[in-house]
Structures are given as structure tokens and as C-alpha cells.
Structure 1
Amino acid sequence: MFSTIPDVLDQREIEELRGIAARAAFIDGRASAPGAPLKNNLVVGDRGLLERSAQIVADALFRNEDFRVLAFPKAMMPPILTRYGAGMYYGTHVDAAFMPHPGRSLRSDLSCTVFLSDPADYEGGALVVRLGTEEVRLRAPAGAAIVYPSTTLHRVEEVTRGERLVALTFIESRIADAERRDLLHELKEIGAIAGPAMDIDTYTRLQRVEENLFRRWADPD
């Protein structure tokens, strides 16, 4: 499953992140992914600005209810502010299964792109996710996030005009199995949509199913 979540960042956060990007020194994106010859982008190289931008994006994601019930996040890599100028791209790849995280390795279950540029600010630069024999091209407005399985083949098309500014992160879910995660997410969506119309006994039974499946399937801390 992949999903576009609108308004993860508010306008103040978007402007602060754009300001960080405007004054930051960017370095070759391959520094964050050695051995990735298909990667042609730039990432923030200033540690202080990198940490501040990562905190803004991480806080915004964790406070967003739609993100939490989609991803069931257990841990997250610090989001990396990433720039694609004209001529830049990221070729077809799959994200690494495990990534270095303080104190342990993080299993990448979900990948997340948070958009800081408006679609009108650049041409090209679509996130392309391969689903079986089909490809889905994804763009989103500033402040939105696209979440998709890290197991998929995906790429970023070449930017032909302007600048594509995003923040990238990877999430270890409490529910490692993607099908179980999707089923529990759907149950929670049903509860949110239909719950107000249910009688209290039916709604309580639905909550019991949700919580006991979560208890059975989720990884402990």
C-alpha cells in the first residue's frame, strides 16, 4: 500500500525548511548512500541544519494521526533534506533492508517522501513506484507526504526545470508484515468512518478486534 497524506507540514514549517535549504551547504547525495551509482541528487551537509530540519519533519510526521495509523511507527531514520536541480534524478532502486540507527539497525518497512516544493516549481521529478508490471507516477503539493513500501522498486525521474526539494526518511513499523499492517490500517479507517454511526456495543467489539490483532502482530519495544 502507498498513500499520500496531505498537510503533514504546516506553512510555518514549510517556510522554515525552505529557509534552511536556502542557507545550507549541500553535498553529493551519494555520501548518504555509498555504492549507489544511480543516485544523482544533493543532501544537506551542515550537521546543525541537518539535525534541525530532521527534527521538524519527524515531529510533524509523528503528530499526524493518518501517518501513525498507516505506518504504526516503531522507529524512524532522521529525515534528510534532499535537493534535485535540473538534470538530477535517482535511478530505479530498492531501499536497503537495514540501516544504521543509534544503538541498533533499523529495518526499513516503509519509505516516506515529504514535499517542500510546490509542483509548479519544477518539471519532471516524479516519484515512480513499480507495482508488478505497472508504474505509478506520484507528485504532491508542498507539505504533503507520500508513504510507500520500502520493498518496491522505485525511482525519481529527471528534473527538467526548477528545483525539487524534499525530505526523505525510512520507517520501521511495529507490524513487519505488510499485509497485516494494511489490514489493521483498514480496520482503523472503518472505525473512524463508521464508528460514530455504530451503537456502543458494536463499536466496542470492533475496538476489541483492532487491539487484539495489534497485540498479536506488533513487535514489542
Structure 2
Amino acid sequence: MMLHVPALLSKAQVQHIRERMQQEKQWISGTKTAGHQAQKIKNNLQLNTESELYINLNQFVTQTIKNNLLVQSFALARDILPPMFNCYQDGGTYGNHVDNAFQWSRLQQKNIRTDVSMTIFLSEPDEYEGGELIVEDSYGSHEVKLDAGDAILYPATSLHRVEPVTRGARIASFTWIQSIVKDDWQRSMLFNLDMTIIQLRQKIGDCEETLALTNHYHNLLRQWGEV
């Protein structure tokens, strides 16, 4: 299951991030953070994670992710890897791949299981040509190219790629989330149930039926969740 989160970052927040990136050019080759196999198909730039700019931006984006209720309901986050930032230009691309099952977090000093992948677009669609995120899984093949500030979340088990950017620059932030519910199907069920409960509350309030569904939701979360 995929989730489109509109305006995770406001236009003003995106503009601030982009202005900071222009003032401090601290981009390095994306192959420096890629494994041996990924180096053969990865051609992009990434913001240097040793820079002060990166530290400031990643803290801001992390807090924004944590504060978003839709992301919370969908991902049921236990841990969020510090977001990174990349840039595709001049034919930059990333071929078909599946993300590593675990990523080391220097900040938390532990491995984090990658259950949910997340991309936050920081360039408007008309700023570049190509650069579509293609996600393929049992739920089909999806082409993603969103407005600046919008985010897409999808299972990290999905095969995905970034098409070559033939004009302009595609700038984005990306991260992975370890969920308290490991199984994607179970997370999808819980998310759909949570959205249904919210819609019912808006229509009919906290009646006996909505309270019963809420009890079912928490009992399923108790059954499937891990702490």
C-alpha cells in the first residue's frame, strides 16, 4: 500500500530549505552511501551528512514527520532514520533496486529495520523532466512525481527506481521508518480501520459502534505490534 501525503512541508518551508541548499553547496556523490551493487546503478548527488547544514535540515524534517498525524497512522513509527537529501540532474538516475533491510543510524547508534520508505519532493514537477519515482509491487506499478512539499510512503520491500532526469534538477529528502508493526498487510489493515473510525466520528460522533471499532483497532495493534 502507498500513501500520498499532501503538503507535509509548506511551500514556505520548502523555499527555506532550497535557499539554504543554494547558499551552502555541500553535495557529494551518492555512491558514497551506496552498497557495492547499488553503486553500479546509482547516479546522483547527496547532501554531505557531515555538514552543519545537513544536521540542521535533517532535524527539522524529522520533527515534521513525527508531527504529521497521517504519517503516524500509516507508518506506526517506532524509529525514523535521519532523513537525507539527494539531487538528480544531468541524466542522474537510480536503477531498479530494493532498499537494504537494515540501515545503521549513527544518531541512535543502532540498526533500524526499513519497513517503510519515504520520499519528500522538494522540487516542483515543472522544474525538471524525467525523475519519476517508479514503485512496483503486488499492488501494481506506480509512477510518482509530486508537488514540492508532498510526500510518498510505500513498503520498503517494493522494487523501485528513479528515472533519468533530462532537464533541471530533482531535489528530494528521503528516509526509512521502522514500524511497530512489521507486516505491511497488517499495517494497511490498521490504517484503513483508523481512517474509517475517524470518518465515522466526524459523521456520527463517539457512538457505541465507533467505540467498538476503536477497541478492535487497539486490540489488533496490541496483537500485532512490537515494542
Q: Distance in 1 between matches of 2:157 and 2:216?
A: 28
1:22-59 alpha-carbon deviations (Å, 9 max, x no partner): 12310000112232221100001152111111112111
1:97-138 alpha-carbon deviations (Å, 9 max, x no partner): 011122321000010000000000000000001124952211
1:72 aligned residue (49, 70, 76): 76
Identical columns (%): 33
Number of the residue aligned with 1:219: 226
Q: Distance in 2 between matches of 1:114 and 1:53?
A: 13
Greater displacement, 149-158 / 193-202: 193-202
Q: Distance in 2 between matches of 1:59 and 1:161?
A: 32
1:40-80 alpha-carbon deviations (Å, 9 max, x no partner): 00001152111111112111111111111011011011111
Query: What displacement does 1:86 show?
Result: 2.1
Q: Secondary structure at the match of 1:215?
A: helix
Number of the residue aligned with 1:50: 54
User: Pairwise mapping of residues 148-159 of structure 1 onto structure 2 (< 5 A)?
Assistant: 148-159=154-165
Q: Distance in 1 between matches of 2:57 and 2:182?
A: 27
TM-score, normalised by the number of residues in structure 2: 0.93
Counterpart AA for 2:55: E
Q: CA RMSD in A?
A: 1.4
Query: What displacement does 1:215 show?
Result: 1.3
Q: Distance in 2 between matches of 1:146 and 1:116?
A: 12
Q: Distance in 2 between matches of 1:73 and 1:140?
A: 23
Q: Distance in 1 between matches of 2:131 and 2:121?
A: 11
Q: Return 5+ residue gaps in structure 1 as ranges.
A: none
Q: Distance in 1 between matches of 2:222 and 2:35?
A: 38
TM-score, normalised by the number of residues in structure 1: 0.95
1:173 aligned residue (156, 174, 179): 179
Counterpart AA for 2:161: R
Query: What displacement does 1:149 show?
Result: 0.7
Greater displacement, 200-209 / 140-149: 200-209
Number of the residue aligned with 2:125: 119
Query: What displacement does 1:163 show?
Result: 0.5
User: Pairwise mapping of residues 182-193 of structure 1 onto structure 2 (< 5 A)?
Assistant: 182-193=188-199
Q: Is the 8 A contact 1:24 1:49 kept in 2?
A: no
Q: Is the 8 A contact 2:26 2:51 kept in 1?
A: no
1:136-166 alpha-carbon deviations (Å, 9 max, x no partner): 2111000000001110110000001000000
Greater displacement, 12-21 / 207-216: 12-21
Q: Return 5+ residue gaps in structure 2 as ranges.
A: none
1:191-211 alpha-carbon deviations (Å, 9 max, x no partner): 111223335211111111111
Q: Secondary structure at the match of 1:95?
A: coil
Number of the residue aligned with 1:30: 31
Greater displacement, 110-119 / 211-220: 211-220
